[in-house]
Structure formats: structure tokens, C-alpha cells
Amino acid sequence: MGSFFGFLFTLTCERFLFIIRLINVSIEAEDATTTREKILEEALTLFAERGYDGTGVDLIAERVGIKGPSLYKHFKGKEDILNALIDAAEVRYDEYFGSEKHIGSIPDNKEDFIQLTMKRVSFTMHDPMIRKIRIFLVQEQFRSERLAEITTRHQLYGIQGMYTKIIEGMLEKGVVMKDDPTLLAMELTAPAVLMVARADRQPQYGNEILESIEKHIRHFCEIYMTK
């Protein structure tokens, strides 16, 4: 009987130690994820403030509160950090703003269109990650063909392509007057993109710029929409 209870005690201890090991592994994984997120957050801030070439791995590590070599446990180097930032920003932008592949619901009337568009504008102006990545891209677009292409896509043909599809859908619903949807999308988005760029340069005028963008969108709707 004694040996049986000894066996149970040993088994219980082993299970307890196994659970402790699982908890420790879970904590370590969570800490690693948190550190990785901090690295990305601080790197993006530094890239926006100092540019890519002006930001070193050691400076990023210092901002995070770790040693330079420790950063390489999470990323291969600075380029790997940049790639992770761009990928994360693309996913976030697609989810909350949209894209040609993700245009969301087609508005049934001009007020729905205005509300949905202003929601997108407010997101792109105020989301810290998107704003910082846009400031970074504007600075670096002349030094990297890849970054130039990403900048052009988000400021020109990406947003215009997205709104071309939205306007096409509204044309089919009879909400928009018959016209060239590509030209309408360009007319709608180009001034808004310029005003968002001004908000990046002069954030103190953010509310004024939002009002100007809404006036522009409302004017567009009054001219081209039937209901």
C-alpha cells in the first residue's frame, strides 16, 4: 500500500512540474511576443522621425530597453523589421480602410457614402501606425523603388482603384449618375489625399482638414449622386 501511495505522490509531483513547465513556456512565449511588438513599435517611431538610414539596430534596442544583440532573437536585422512593419501595416490598412480586393458594402445613398468615406478618412489620419508608416514612406520613397511603389499604390492607384469599384457598384444601384467611374474616383480621392498629407505635416490643423475633406466629399455627392 505504501508503495502505491508513493507512486501516486511521484505521479502527482511529475504532473505538477509538467504544468509548471507549460506555464513557464507560455510566459516566455508571451514575453517574446511583447518584446517583438515593442521592437516594431519603437522602430516605426524612429523610422518616421529619423528615416531608415538614420536608425540603427542599437538605437531601436535602446528604446525597447534591451541590448542590441538581444534584438536578433526576434528579427534578422533592420530590413527584417521594416518588412514586418510593412506587412503589418498592409493588413491593418486593408482591414480598417479597405482595398481593391476589400471594398466593403456598396452604399445605397449619398449619406451612407459620406459616412463610410469619412470613417475611412478619420482612420487613416488618426491611426498611429498608419500615420507613421505614411510619413516614413513619403521620406523614403526617393531612396527605394520598392517603397516608392508602395507609396504610389496607397496614395494613387490603390485608393483610386478601390473607389472606382465602389462607384461602379453605386452606378449599378442607380445612386451615381452615368459617367466614367475611373475619372470620378480620381476627382474624389486626389484632393483628399493631398489634404491628408497636409495633416501629416501640420497635425495642428487636423480638425480643419477633416471639415474640408467632408465639404469636398459632400460637394462631389451633390454633383454626381441622385439620391
Residues 202-225 have pLDDT tens digits of: 999 999 999 999 999 999 999 999
How far is the C-alpha of 132 from the C-alpha of 92, rounded, in Å? 13
Give the number of other CB atoms < 10 A from CB of residue 131. 18
How far is the C-alpha of 28 from the C-alpha of 67, rounded, in Å? 18
In this prediction the pTM is: 0.80
Mean confidence (pLDDT) of the chain? 87
Average pLDDT over residues 76-104: 92
Instruction: Read off the pLDDT band of 37 (50, 70, 90).
Output: very high
Please report the domains of the chain, with CATH numbers, ordered by start residue: 2-71 (1.10.10.60), 97-224 (1.10.357)
Instruction: Read off the pLDDT band of 84 (50, 70, 90).
Output: very high
Instruction: Read off the pLDDT band of 154 (50, 70, 90).
Output: confident
Q: Taking 60 as the threshold, does the pLDDT of residue 2 lie above it?
A: no
Average pLDDT over residues 84-96: 93
Give the number of other CB atoms < 10 A from CB of residue 92. 15
Q: Among 101, 192, 99, which residue's Cα sits nearest to residue 153?
A: 99
Q: Is 99 helix (H, G, I), strand (E, B) or coil?
A: strand
H, E, C per residue of 56-95: CHHHHHHHHCCCHHHHCCCCCCHHHHHHHHHHHHHHHHHH
Cell numbers given for 142? 526617393
Q: Among 218, 66, 47, 69, which residue's Cα sits nearest to residue 143?
A: 47
Q: Taking 70 as the threshold, does the pLDDT of residue 97 lie above it?
A: yes
Q: Is 102 helix (H, G, I), strand (E, B) or coil?
A: strand
